A and B are shown apart, each in its own frame.
Chain A
Amino acid sequence: MKAEGCSALGMVKFFAIVLMMALAAIVQFNPQGAYGLTGGRAYVTGVVTKPGQKVHFDILLNYTASQPVSSITYSLETRNLPRGWIAKVHYGGQEITSLTITNMQILVIDLEVEVPETEKPGHHSFLFYAVGRELLTEAVSFELSVDVEALKREIKLSTEYPDVTVEREGTAKFAIVLDNIGETDELANLTAEFPEGWRVTFKGQSGDIFGVYLPKGRSAIIQAEAEPPEGVAAGVYDFIVRAQSSDLVANSTLKLKVAVVKAGTAERMLSTLYPELNIEGAKIIFFPITIRNLGTSSLTYRLSPLSVPSGWTVSFRTTPDDRTSSISSIFLAGGESATLYLEAAPPATVTLGTYTFIVRATSEEGASQDLSVAVKMTGSYDITMDFNTLFARTRAGETASVTATVTNIGASELTNVSLEVSAPSNWEVTKIPTFYDTLKPGEYKTITLMLKAPGNAEIGDYLIGVRATSDRARSTQILLRVNVQSPSISLWIIGIAAIVIAVIIIVLVYVKFGRKR
C-alpha cells in the first residue's frame, strides 16, 4: 500500500477537507440551522374592563431549540383589534415591537390594550401574534378577548354635621360634600324637600347654585342654607337634600335636621369634635374646628395660634386638601357657623409624645375664646428584608452564602437589628455582621448569611426560613431554597472514573486495531 505522504497535492487536499469541516461546523451552529419549537401562552386570555381603561395580558414566550446556542427574534403584533383600540407590548419597562429569545429562555411580556372611552359594552376578541423573523414557521398566536362593561355611575351626598342648632333668627348652614364615586363625569341637579315656610338655598363659590358638574373621582363642597320663616316655633325640623343626574341614573339623598332654639342658648364660639388625636409616626394632622357667631349681627373673627410646640407649624385651612391658602380671619353673619381645619405639621426631628396646641378666635368686638387640642404621637416600627437570590447551591460539608438587605420602613429608629434563621438541624449558620445596633427610618443595611450544610447532608433541596428582627418589629419570613449536592470529592471521583473508562476503551481499540498488518 502506498504510504500517505505530505506532498504538496496532499497538503492542498488536506486543507480543502479542513475547510469543508469548518464550514460544516459553522452551518451546524448557525442559528438558522437550529430546529426549534416556539412555545407560548397567555396566563389570562379574557378580561373584563370598562371604557377608557387599560387592560394587561401577561404573555409567556419560550423558544426551545435543538441547539443551545441558537436564538430567535419574534415580531410582536396584534390583529383584528377593534377600531380605536391601542395595543402596546412592554418588556423590561419599555415599549417593544420585537423580542429576541435565546434558546430555552422563557420571557414574560406585558400586552397592554387601551379601550377607548367611547367603546360600548360588549365582547371583543383579537389575535396576538409572535412571528419568528428568521423562520416564519416559528410562530405562536393566541386569541385574547376583552369584555367591556358599562361604567359605574354613583354620586354621594354627605356632611360631617347633619344636625345643627340655630336660633330663631339665624340660618342653618351645612357644609355638604358631593362625591362622584362613579366612573363617569356627572352633572348633578340639587333639590331639597323642606318644611313649609322655610327657604333652602345652595351656595357655591360664585353664589347661589342648583347644579354641580363633577368629574369622576372628584368632590365638591356645597353650602346649604336653611332659613326659617319668621316666627318659627322652636323644635326639630327635617330636611332632605337630593342630588341627581339629568337621566336620574346617579342620585343621592341626604337627611338633615335643624333644631331651632331660643336666642343665646347656643353653646360655644369655638369647638372641635376631636380635641385629641393619636397618630403613628410623623404625619400632618388636621383638627376640624367649628366657629360660630353667637350674636345676631355680622362679625369678623381673627384666628391665631396661641401656643404651638417647638418646631411645629400650624395653619387654618378651609379643607384638608387646600394646601395653597391659609385663613387668618373669617366673616360670619349673625348666627352663622363655619367649619375650618387646623393643620399641624410636625418637624422632621419630632420625637414621640403628646403635643398641645392652643388657638384663639377674637371677634372684632374684642370677645375671644381659646380652644385647646392635642396630638399624641406614637411610634411606628416596621422592617422589611430582601435577598440577592432566593436559590443557592452547595455541596455537603460546604458553605453557600446569600446577602440579605434589611430596611427600616417604619417611622421610628429600630434597635438590635438582626436575622432570625430557621435552618434544618446540624446546619451551621453564620451572620456577618451578627447584628446592627440601630437602623434609622428609611435606612438599609446588608447582612451576609453563610449557610454550611453538614458533611452527611443528603442530596436535595432544603428550605431555610429567614426573617429580619429588631427589638420592636419583625419582618415576614422569606424562604431560601438551598440545593445540596454530593460532596465534590465523590463527584469528581465519579466524573474522573467515567473519563478513565472512556480513555481505556479508546486505548484498547487502538491496541487491537491501531497497527496496519
Chain B
Amino acid sequence: MGETLAIAGNEMRMLLPSWRWNLVVALVFVCALAGSYQAYLTNEEQIESFGKGEGPEPASLAAFASGIWLDANAALPILAVISGFDTMSREKKTGGMQLLLARSTSKVSIVLGKFLGGFVPTAIVSFSSLLVTSGLMVALVGPFSSEELYRIAAFAAVLTLYVAVWVAISVFISTIAGSGMSSALASLLLLISLGGWSITSAALSDFLAPLPSFWTGGTTWYGALSELKVRVDEYVNWFSPPAVFAAGGGALLNPAVDVPPFVVQSRPPIFPVDVIETLRNIWPCISAMTSMLTITLISSYAILRTRGIDLESGRL
C-alpha cells in the first residue's frame, strides 16, 4: 500500500507542473464556464416557450445537464487521457521503471500507483468543474430541489467512474506503447473512435441485419430483422465507454428518461422516475464501466508481468 501511494504521489508531482496537463485543466474550466452560459441562455428561451404553452417546463437540473455536458463528454475524457498516456512510457524512457523493478517494487503497486497518480487529480478537477457548474447554475438559473441534488451527486459518482475508465485505458496503452507520443496518439484515436461509436454500432447493425428499402412494415421478416437490428445496436454499444456513460449519465440528468438507450426495459416506467429507480435502471451501465476499469487494470498488470522488462534498455 505504501509503495502504491508513494508511486501515486510521485506521479502527481510529475503531472501537476506539466504544461500539457495544465492546458487541459484550463480547457475543462473554460468548457464549464461556456457550457454554463449556454445553459443559462437556453433556460431563458425555455421559460419564454413554456409560458406560451410550448416545450417542457424549465428546470435547474436540465440547465445543469446542458452546462456540464461539454466537460463530461469532451474535456474531462481528454484530461484523463493526458493524465495517463505517458505514465509507463516515460518511466521506460527515463529509466525509472528499471529503478522501480530493481527495488523489487510489486508490479501491482506500479500499475495501481500509476493509475491513482492520474486518476486522483483528474477526479479532483472533475469534481471542481461540477462544483463550478452547479454554483453558476444556482446563481443564474435557480436552486436545485433535493431530488435534483441527489441526481447530481449520483451523476458525479458515475462521471468519476467514467474518468477512471479513461485513465485506466491510457495507462494500459502506455504500458504497451513504445513511446509517449505513440501512446498519446493511440489513446486519443481510441477516444475519438469510441466517441463516435453510435455511427459504428449503427453501421454494424445495418451490415448484420440489413433492411431492404422495398420491404414494408407488418411482414414477419421485416419485424424479425428490425428486432435483430436493434439488438445488434444495443450489444455493440456496450463496448464503448462513452456510449455507456452517455446512457447512464443522461438518464440521471433527465428524469423524463425512464430507461436509457440500449438498456432492456424490465417493467413499465412510472413517471416521474425517482433517482433510486433511475439508479436501478442504469445499474447495467455502472456495472459495465466497473468491469471495463477492472479488466483494463488487470490487463496492464498482466502485460507488465508476462512481457517482463529489459532492465538495461527499459523495454518491455
Of the candidate stretches B103-111, B195-203, B296-304, the one touching chain A is B195-203
Q: Does A462 contact B (CB under 8 A)?
A: no
Name the interface residues of A101-144: CB closer than 8 Å to any CB of B: 104-106, 127, 129, 135-137, 141
Q: Does A217 contact B (CB under 8 A)?
A: no
Q: In the complex the two chains form, is B143's CB within 8 Å of A491's CB?
A: yes
Write the nearest CB–CB distance from A92 to chain B, whole angstroms: 11
Q: In the complex the two chains form, is A21's CB within 8 Å of B188's CB?
A: yes
Given the known inter-chain contacts A67-B73, A459-B143, A509-B124, please indicate yes or no for A514 contacting B192, CB distance below 8 A: no
User: Of the candidates B70, B94, B142, B229, which one forms a contact with A136 in the assembled complex, judged by CB atoms under 8 Å apart?
Assistant: B229
Of all chain B residues, which has the CB nearest A36?
Answer: B261
Judged by DSSP, the binding face of B is: helix
Write the nearest CB–CB distance from A506 to chain B, whole angstroms: 5
Q: Does B168 contact A (CB under 8 A)?
A: no
Q: In the complex the two chains form, is A389's CB within 8 Å of B202's CB?
A: no
Write the nearest CB–CB distance from A492 to chain B, whole angstroms: 5
Q: Does B52 contact A (CB under 8 A)?
A: yes
Given the known inter-chain contacts A33-B195, A68-B66, A498-B132, please indicate yes or no for A24 contacting B20, CB distance below 8 A: no
Q: In the complex the two chains form, is A20's CB within 8 Å of B185's CB?
A: yes
Of the candidate stretches B169-177, B248-256, B287-295, B307-315, the one touching chain A is B248-256
Q: Does B16 contact A (CB under 8 A)?
A: yes
Of all chain B residues, which has the CB nearest A129?
Answer: B217
Q: Does B17 contact A (CB under 8 A)?
A: yes
Chain B residues with CB below 8 A from A390, complex form: 51-53
Given the known inter-chain contacts A68-B66, A79-B216, please indicate yes or no for A136 contacting B242, CB distance below 8 A: no
User: Of the candidates A69, A494, A502, which one forms a contact with B139 in the assembled complex, judged by CB atoms under 8 Å apart?
Assistant: A494
In the assembled complex, the Cα of A393 lies from the Cα of B143 at a distance in Å of 13
Judged by DSSP, the binding face of A is: mixed
Total contacts A-B at CB 8 Å: 203
Of all chain B residues, which has the CB nearest A143?
Answer: B218
Q: Does B121 contact A (CB under 8 A)?
A: yes
Name the interface residues of B170-219: CB closer than 8 Å to any CB of A: 181, 184-185, 188-189, 191-192, 195-199, 202, 205-206, 211, 216-218
Of all chain B residues, which has the CB nearest A13?
Answer: B181
Chain B residues with CB below 8 A from A488, complex form: 139
In the assembled complex, the Cα of A517 lies from the Cα of B17 at a distance in Å of 11
Q: Does A16 contact B (CB under 8 A)?
A: yes
Chain A interface size, as a band, is: 35 or more
In the assembled complex, the Cα of A340 lies from the Cα of B78 at a distance in Å of 90
Write the nearest CB–CB distance from A109 to chain B, whole angstroms: 13
Q: In the complex the two chains form, is A491's CB within 8 Å of B13's CB?
A: no
Q: Does B47 contact A (CB under 8 A)?
A: yes
Q: In the complex the two chains form, is B216's CB within 8 Å of A392's CB?
A: no
Chain B residues with CB below 8 A from A485, complex form: 142-143
Q: In the complex the two chains form, is A35's CB within 8 Å of B131's CB?
A: no
Given the known inter-chain contacts A485-B143, A513-B12, please indicate yes or no for A23 contacting B218, CB distance below 8 A: no
Q: Does B246 contact A (CB under 8 A)?
A: yes
Q: Does B56 contact A (CB under 8 A)?
A: yes
Write the nearest CB–CB distance from B295 to chain A, whole angstroms: 22
Q: Mark B121-157, 1 if CB is under 8 A from A, else 0.
A: 1001101110110111111101100000000000000
Of all chain B residues, which has the CB nearest A498?
Answer: B135
Q: In the complex the two chains form, is B69's CB within 8 Å of A514's CB?
A: no
Give me 9 other A-B pairs in contact (C-beta within 8 A), A491-B143, A492-B139 excluded. Answer: A24-B195, A27-B195, A32-B199, A104-B256, A389-B51, A494-B138, A495-B140, A506-B25, A513-B15
Give me the 5 closest cross-chain CB pairs, A-B, nearest first. A389-B51, A495-B139, A498-B135, A66-B250, A391-B51
